[in-house]
Amino acid sequence: MLYERCSQRVYAQMVRMVGIQDADDATQQVFIHLFRKLDKFDGRSKLETWVYRLASNEALQFIRSRSRHTTDSLLDDPSGYSHDTRERTEQGELLDVALSRIDPELRVVLVLKEQEDLSYREIADAVGIPEGTVGSRLNRARADLREVLLQLGWE
């Protein structure tokens, strides 16, 4: 039941954090750790916040264990896609590449805010940092992401 409740959101977080090619493995690792550590959940925060913390830590470990600066293409054969679909996919790929190039500590805060729509308090609890630090990391992450996107040719 816990897996069914949280797996899609954890997977989406992993796609943005470690890339689509490693998201399945990272998601699986999150749930392995979650089930092994379930007895350590003390109920001081929401269960979802605790799961995000495990997922964030797993993503950061994945990133640190590999020095990866590129992502695989999400399109094998773009000829079958409409122009709008292809353009959205290309923008998604550009965003994934840009995200992979910003500092992982900033990326996790940005993904939790923009993709998961967590509050600053929830992000602080999930990542284990002060709430004020969430705001400063989020500002820096957005600035760094914009700079990388511009370097990659985003208009």
- Look up the CATH number of the domain holding residue 20: 1.20.140.160
pLDDT at 139 over 50: yes
C-alpha–C-alpha distance, residues 150 and 119, integer Å: 28
Percent over 90 (pLDDT), the chain: 41
C-alpha–C-alpha distance, residues 113 and 123, integer Å: 7
pLDDT at 30 over 90: yes
Q: Which of 111, 95, 106 is nearest to 133 (CA)?
A: 106
Instruction: Compute how many other C-beta atoms are within 10 angstroms of the C-beta atom of residue 56.
Output: 24
Tokens of 78: 């773009």
CB-based contacts of 133, cutoff 8 Å, min separation 6: 124
**Domain carrying residue 100:** 2-71+80-151
Tokens of 82: 């409409």
Residue 108 dihedral angles phi and psi, to the nearest 5°: -65, -40
Indicate the pLDDT class of residue 41, thresholds 50, 70 and 90.
confident
Indicate the pLDDT class of residue 73, thresholds 50, 70 and 90.
very low
C-alpha–C-alpha distance, residues 14 and 24, integer Å: 8
Domains held by the chain: number = 1
Q: Please give the span between the terminal C-alpha atoms of the chain, in angstroms, as a whole number.
A: 43
**Which has more confidence, 54 or 45?**
54
What pTM, to 2 d.p., does this model score? 0.67
Query: DSSP code of 153?
Result: T
